[in-house]
Amino acid sequence: MGTYITVALPTIIMKLIGKQQLHDFGEKHSDARSQLQSWETEVEAAEWKTPQDVRNRYPKATLPGNLQAIFDICRNKYRLWVQIAYKTGVVLIKKIGTHKEYDKWQIK
């Protein structure tokens, strides 16, 4: 029988792109500001390798496809839509808005 070598994959900390959208939204909707700040901090410390990693931390997140996630902000008053590149560790903010605005988004 052969010898097996175990290779540890490098740890990839997530890099958040589009943070200005969060900050601008928080300025306009002050009730969301602290939750958005917490979410930003958590994402930048996360090591998501699969959609299941997102689901484990955010069980109420919607995962339309393997590379996207929609997070409820302020008990579903607002929605945050991101695209996630697990291999490179990049989280791209696509949109943030009210639940009413979310109903009009074209998510594929």
The total of other beta-carbon atoms located within 10 Å of residue 40's CB is 17
pLDDT of res. 7: 61
Please report, for residues 5, 19, 55, 70, the alpha-carbon distance to residue 62 in angstroms, rounded to integers and kept in the order given: 37, 20, 8, 5
pLDDT along the chain (108 residues), means of 10: 64 91 96 97 95 95 92 95 96 95 86
14 with 88: CB under 8 angstroms? no
82 vs 67: CA distance, rounded Å: 8
pLDDT of res. 99: 87
23 vs 85: CA distance, rounded Å: 22
pLDDT of res. 12: 78
pLDDT of res. 13: 86
Spelled out in words, what is the top-level CATH class assigned to the domain 15-102?
alpha beta
Look-up: residue for tokens 């997102």? 54
Report the sign of the C-alpha dihedral through residues 94, 99, 105, 108, in that order.
positive
pLDDT of res. 58: 96
